[in-house]
Amino acid sequence: MSRATAVAVGGSLSAASWRRRELAVPVRCSLSAAGLEAIAPILRDLKMKCDTPLPVLRHVADSMSADMRAGLATNGGSDLKMILSYVDSLPTGNELGLFYALDLGGTNFRVLRVQLGGKEKRIIDTEFEQVSIPQELMYGTTEELFDFIVYGLARFVEKESTKFHLAEGTKREIGFTFSFPVKQTSIDSGILIKWTKGFAVSGTAGRDVVVCLNEALVRQGLDIRVSALVNDAVSTLAGAHYWDEDVKVAVILGTGTNACYVESVEAIPKLQGSVYGSGKTVCEADLLVFHDIINLEWGAFSTGLHLTEFDREMDSESINPGEQLFEKTISGMYLGEIVRRVLKKMVKASTLFGDSFPENLSVPFSLSTPHLCTMQQDGSGDLDKVGLILSDTLGVKNSSLGARKIVQDICDTIVKRGSRLAGAGIVGILQKVEQDSRGQIFQKRTVVAMDGGLYEHYPQYRHYLKEAVAELLGVEVSKNVFIEHTKDGSGIGAALLAAANSKYVA
């Protein structure tokens, strides 16, 4: 399998830029006793409220299982929408031909093409590009956003080389990964319920996003058929399952977060008697046959979460107050912002960074999760990188070693809470399926496919998440449960689902 170079964007400061900067910010002498005295109670209180000992994790896992059941029982039965994805057959490996994928996440959109060679050759070739989404498009119109996406897709299609070939008499087909809550109406249609992750594009909520995409394709004269609409968790599960049939759950931890899993149709009471999948009514005979991937939309989960004053303030000032509380506690868009709010309170109460108030400390989202990640990796004696981030992003003119250590400690507290809660959520899904079909999850090899920039790039996050899963499952069961990163599973998965739902498949 070969892979062409990607156009990478965004991300944190490179090693080279660190070297160039050298030690630009001198370490100030230590924190004063008075400064420490003012900070200590805030830090202590934060740590207490963010603590996630086993009973808290267990409560979250159990609540996740219970909310899943309630969401499967009736529409609106819980915070978890438990949306059917209409993926009733996962890719088998037999898929053949050229397929495209388009992935609209929260920060980037990616385009990908793949030449599939069937069981033997599998993925013959693949290429992808990634483009960051300009901030103004997040608040623009539906047409502007979709035109931008289709423009990127069209440029990518133009660059298709002779390594890729379309079967005669067919046209290009694409799987559309759209990582926002959608009420799926078939494998290739779905209505946007609401924007999340800071998006506020006008005119899309309540519309079929495939229609929006098709309209933009027509406007730009690009002839390509949208064969599958999925979210990123579902496409990750499909992509990972292509290589490993033991993959039963997929979790995304990027700008936002979501999870999905393979469910048997008989465990979906709200579906009984309705028309399902490829036009078949669910009846006794079908029960044994059908599975679907259920999209939890777990960002909306909230049962048993203990929010701090910082979470509550961030939530109330967000564009979707009261919503997506799990997402706001565990995902990449928000972790840096929570830390900024803690620091702001500390600076107001003490001389953490000297006498002046850092100019950017009041700017929402000035501290990002990649910044936290870089600060947590700093093992140098003087914590130089922490000092540089504080000066570059928040405008802290100079910071003492003590203050830098406190900042690292806060990052760790917020990241540890988020990742452990994410781990508890995963166990909630696994135990729900295990309770329904004893031995199907815990007594044989089960894989949870993970993807998303936060999980991929933040080592402490990964470590704490796995630790929480192991704590909850215990030693024996943990031997059977594998939490595995599936790089690019989402893009390939969407293309595979386009192939599995191709108009040209006999």
Residues classed as catalytic: 197, 232
CA distance 418 to 39: 23
User: With binding defined as CB under 5 A, does residue 254 bind Mg ion?
Assistant: yes
Q: Are 198 and 456 in contact (CB under 8 A)?
A: no
User: With respect to ligand ADP, which residue has the nearer C-beta, 6 or 40?
Assistant: 6
Site mask for ligand ADP (CB under 6 A), range 197-236, x = bound: ----------------------------------------
Give the residue closest to ligand ADP by C-beta.
Answer: 105
DSSP 8-class letter at 202: B
Residues 80-109 binding Mg ion (CB under 5 A) are 105
Q: Closest approach of Cβ 321 to Mg ion, in Å?
A: 24
d(CA 222, CA 172): 10
Give the x/- contact pattern for ligand ADP in 94-113, rule: CB under 6 A: -----------xxxx-----
Say if CB 188 and CB 226 are below 8 A apart.
yes
**What's CA 185's distance to the chain center, in Å?**
23
Helices 369-377 & 332-349, crossing angle to 10 degrees? Answer: 70
Window of 29-37, 278-286, 368-376, 431-439 that interacts with ligand ADP by CB under 6 A: 368-376
Three-state SS for 283-316 is CHHHHCCCEEEEECCHHHCCCCCCCCHHHHHHHH
Min dist. Cβ of residue 461 to ligand ADP (A): 7
Select from Mg ion, ligand ADP, none the partner in contact with residue 350, using the beta carbon and a kind-dependent cut-off of 5 to 8 Å.
Answer: none
Of 109 and 242, which CB lies nearer to ligand ADP in the complex structure? 109
Complex with Mg ion: residue 146 or 353, whichever CB lies closer:
146
Alpha carbon distances (Å) from 28 to 32, 241, 401, 448:
11, 53, 7, 46
Q: How far is the CB of 17 from Mg ion (least distance, A)?
A: 25
Q: Using DSSP bridges, classify how beta strands 83-84 and 291-295 pair: parallel, antiparallel or unpaired.
A: antiparallel
Taking the least distance from each CB to Mg ion, the nearer of 259 and 282 is: 259
Task: Give the closest residue to 465 by CA, choosing from 429, 414, 407, 417.
Answer: 417
Distances (CA, A) of 470 to 54, 335, 420, 434, 482: 11, 23, 11, 16, 10
Cβ proximity to Mg ion: between 282 and 296 the closer is: 296
Asked if 254 is part of the footprint of ligand ADP (rule: CB under 6 A), the reply reads yes
Residue 299 is a binding residue for Mg ion (CB under 5 A): no
Cβ atoms of 450 and 483 closer than 8 Å: yes
270 Cβ contact list (under 8 Å, min separation 6): 72, 73, 74, 75, 77, 82
Q: Which of 35, 304, 402, 453 binds ligand ADP (CB under 6 A)?
A: 453
Q: How many CB atoms lie within 10 A of CB 67?
A: 24
Query: Interface with ligand ADP includes 190 (CB under 6 A)?
Result: no
Q: Are 450 and 486 in contact, with CB atoms under 8 Å apart?
A: yes
Q: Which range binds ligand ADP by CB under 6 A, 337-345, 366-374, 430-438, 469-477?
A: 366-374
Interface pattern 313-332 for ligand ADP (x via CB under 6 A): -------------------x
Binding residues for ligand ADP, total number by CB under 6 A: 20
User: Does 71 sit near Mg ion (CB under 5 A)?
Assistant: no
Q: Give residues in contact with ligand ADP (CB under 6 A).
A: 11-12, 105-108, 179, 254-256, 332-333, 369-370, 373, 452-454, 457-458
